[in-house]
Structure 1
């Protein structure tokens, strides 16, 4: 055994070798005097409460002011007139569509896709970077702290689109699940995308695996997850779905696709596969607790039961469903059956507002037009869809989606004492039923991404200019200019 240096001798340490080095106490942020909607399992709320953040996690939450004597408090925020909630979680989006908004405004889904695919197939890395910044900036400014982007357009010669998107997202500071999409069924194979816009099956699988190996981070509090995400039954082959499921489960990542969005899709699946979308997905390995699907508008009782039995999640996109006249998803029935449901903005070519607060309100209002009428959803269930429900669908419910000690400090402080909300006594009702509330503070892992309704990490005007430049460039290229 090697001799140890005597205390005070060269090479000696005043700390015993078996004592770990001292760890400095985490810096604390205290938010108090605000209404708090925790969205925990008991839906605990405090009319006037506090949250203590230590480093990147929530240390404590409770009624009244924060405990006295807290050490290392670097910031103390008086939340009077505000509501504190978990950060919103967007479970389905197409960031690239930020630069093709306002087109094909009177089309159903299939006609809309046919109209826009030729333009989208010209997207390159600078365009996607600008669109990502624009999409994510809009969402984060409106209270989103975690977002999923389903990107499935990979034109040949367009550059490293995955790296471009993730770099742009990192500049904003939000968490992201990049659902690496793919399409291998072009027009010649009976699909909707033009043949020049699709990948080969082998190429799509290889590129998806490379994205996982290069970028997926499964650690607690990571900013980047990668999911396997073939686009839809009418744009991918059965082989790509089956092999994609095997890839995802071998790599331990989640799976995402579009499902049961329109009556046209239902007809397509019956004609091509001899069964409806849900049965087709189950036959290819695409139902399970590691799967979530966007839209799920046209689901019968058996479909909902299959989702509940397997734990398959749903990204409910009410504004996009209305924009494209797809229909009203049976969200109350899904929730009653135990299906995990979150909210999605969907691409901004079918939801030009581009932010999730609208979806809280529209989920409630649109579902009340269905069979359950005024009992369909209430304000608190809508908020749960946009927070904990979304975290559950993305597989991050142990980290975020509710305000609980030990979870990540992904928090939003909404200002509710201004003109738009001051006469609504209940703060959750004010947030969901009222106009978009200003965000006084938004934290991602304890770090501010919004302060006083302004993004902290990027220049909003610069983001807008870059997106406008790339939108015009894409339009010019698509027109042959």
Structure 2
């Protein structure tokens, strides 16, 4: 929507400014003029010809939330009894894996995506990074096109984090065909196609594509991880994945690779200002220092981490060190609320 808009008479503007700066800004006027999707002026403003006026009397206006890690297809998997009161590993076996077979249809994926996006909009979220890992060989529909289409219909800024796996994660239960791994060539070809079809690198872009293998340790081989990093940078896109959500990650990297998760990520070129990881609950002082030094970001998911008993991320220490931190709701199967306001409240606890 690019029509000129004037938002008038808001009770307050939540700008994020520290101290008295926000109160001083409100005294200078809370009217907001928007042209071509960008804020042009804030103050005591008079309507211009052809401008649509929105009366915000009694309302608080705040910037749209940016949700930096979600799994929208999980919006149909809330409250699965077998996934209540269990940790991440048994939860994965009880919820996402067996129920993936129901997302072999375009209709189910559309409905799940739409529900998740609407829930976010209701809490004022206008941008979402969807870590969509539901890809498998011979998939009968184009999931990337589906999720972008649903976001466009709602006017949301959408970042597709194209996940997937080349290795099947070990489980004590047989996985459905919809969980079958792909080849590295297939994943890389799909990412390149999605970049060609959907990725817009412009500053006001409504569509971005990110290379986002599901996990850097259990989803692919190290050499494949390196290939994905180099492909992403050649395409000019960012990198995203899960990391150190539970202590199992720490243990795995120590026992298998003889290093920390961040040392491993650095070795295979998965660090930098173009990289962010979800969760990052179990970090050492050295890990945090590496995040700060490289500009590697964290998507903090406090409610999901609490729901699964994963722990509490050291966010104050990250911020003090200068490491980038953002906020995210994670998938609705492990955070049924799935709204940014309650996530922010949980973050402050």
* TM-score, length of structure 1 as denominator length: 0.66
> Structure 1 residue 264: deviation in Å?
1.3
Distance in 2 between the 1:248 and 1:191 partners? Answer: 34
Query: How many equivalent residue pairs?
Result: 336
Contact preservation (8 Å) 2:169, 2:218: no
Q: What 5-or-longer segments of structure 1 have no aligned partner?
A: 1-24, 366-481
Alignment correspondent of 1:222: 205
RMSD: 2.3
State which of 37, 40, 44 in structure 2 corresponds to 1:56: 37
> Structure 1 residue 302: deviation in Å?
0.3
Deviation beyond 6 Å, 4+ runs, structure 1: 190-193
Per-residue CA deviation, residues 138-157 of structure 1 (Å, 9 max, x unaligned), is 10111001111001121333
> Structure 1 residue 41: deviation in Å?
8.2
Distance in 1 between the 2:225 and 2:173 partners? Answer: 17
SS of alignment partner, residue 218 of structure 2: coil
Per-residue CA deviation, residues 115-172 of structure 1 (Å, 9 max, x unaligned), is 2313224422222111110100110111001111001121333311111111112111
Distance in 2 between the 1:283 and 1:89 partners? Answer: 30
State which of 79, 84, 93 in structure 2 corresponds to 1:102: 79
SS of alignment partner, residue 84 of structure 2: coil
Per-residue CA deviation, residues 375-417 of structure 1 (Å, 9 max, x unaligned), is xxxxxxxxxxxxxxxxxxxxxxxxxxxxxxxxxxxxxxxxxxx
SS of alignment partner, residue 164 of structure 1: helix
The structure number with the bigger radius of gyration is 1
Contact preservation (8 Å) 2:281, 2:314: yes
Residues 178 and 193 (structure 1), Cα distance of their counterparts in 2 relative to 1, 3 Å cut: farther
Alignment correspondent of 1:29: 6
SS of alignment partner, residue 62 of structure 2: strand
Q: Does residue 112 of structure 1 match 2:94?
A: no
Residues 321 and 192 (structure 1), Cα distance of their counterparts in 2 relative to 1, 3 Å cut: farther
Distance in 2 between the 1:325 and 1:102 partners? Answer: 16
Residues 279 and 73 (structure 1), Cα distance of their counterparts in 2 relative to 1, 3 Å cut: same
Alignment correspondent of 1:203: 186
Contact preservation (8 Å) 1:278, 1:303: yes
Contact preservation (8 Å) 2:3, 2:52: no
State which of 332, 357, 360 in structure 1 corresponds to 2:341: 357
Q: What 5-or-longer segments of structure 2 have no aligned partner?
A: none
Contact preservation (8 Å) 1:181, 1:231: yes
State which of 128, 133, 147 in structure 2 corresponds to 1:147: 128
Alignment correspondent of 1:174: 156
Distance in 2 between the 1:357 and 1:193 partners? Answer: 38
**TM alignment of 1:51-450, pairs within 5 A:** 51-62=32-43, 65-66=44-45, 68=46, 70-103=47-80, 104-116=83-95, 117-124=97-104, 125-156=106-137, 157-187=139-169, 194=175, 196=177, 197=179, 198-232=181-215, 233-365=217-349
SS of alignment partner, residue 91 of structure 1: strand
Contact preservation (8 Å) 2:65, 2:340: yes
Distance in 1 between the 2:76 and 2:52 partners? Answer: 38
Contact preservation (8 Å) 2:7, 2:56: no
Distance in 1 between the 2:292 and 2:148 partners? Answer: 33
Which deviates further from its counterpart, 257-266 or 272-281?
Answer: 272-281
> Structure 1 residue 94: deviation in Å?
0.2
Distance in 2 between the 1:263 and 1:108 partners? Answer: 11
Contact preservation (8 Å) 1:123, 1:158: no
* TM-score, length of structure 2 as denominator length: 0.90
Distance in 2 between the 1:151 and 1:55 partners? Answer: 30
Which gives a bigger RCO, structure 1 or 2 (Cα 8 Å, sep 6+)? 1
Distance in 2 between the 1:132 and 1:329 partners? Answer: 28
Distance in 1 between the 2:335 and 2:327 partners? Answer: 13
Contact preservation (8 Å) 1:29, 1:73: no
Residues 78 and 28 (structure 1), Cα distance of their counterparts in 2 relative to 1, 3 Å cut: closer
